[in-house]
Amino acid sequence: MGADVFVADEQSAFTLDVTRWATLARQVLDAEDVGDDVEVAVLFVDEPTIAELHERYLGETGSTDVLAFPIDDEPVRGGRNPDEGGTGPGGPLSSEEEAIPVLLGDVVVCPAVAGRQADERGVAVEDEVALLVVHGLLHLLGMDHEETAQAERMERRTQELLARFHRSAG
Residue 145 pLDDT: 86
Taking residues 136-159, report their average pLDDT. 92
> Domains of the chain (ranges plus CATH)?
4-169 (3.40.390.30)
The answer to whether residues 86 and 96 touch, using CB atoms and an 8 Å cutoff, is no
List pLDDT tens digits, range 1-32: 678 999 999 999 999 999 999 999 999 999 99
Residue 100's pLDDT band, with cuts at 50, 70 and 90, is low
List pLDDT tens digits, range 63-87: 999 999 998 655 444 444 444 444 4
Name the average pLDDT for the chain: 85
Residue 98 pLDDT: 55
Cα–Cα dist 54/65, whole Å: 10
What are all long-range contacts of 19-27, with beta carbons under 8 Å and residues at least 24 apart?
A: 21/129, 21/133, 24/130, 24/133, 24/134, 24/165, 24/166, 25/107, 25/133, 25/137, 26/2, 27/161, 27/164, 27/165
Helices 18-31 & 148-165 angle (0-180, nearest 10): 120
CB atoms closer than 10 angstroms to residue 140: 22
Taking residues 92-117, report their average pLDDT. 80
Whole-structure pTM value:
0.82
Residue 62 pLDDT: 95
Residue 86 pLDDT: 46
- Please state the separation of Cα 109 from the chain's center in Å: 10
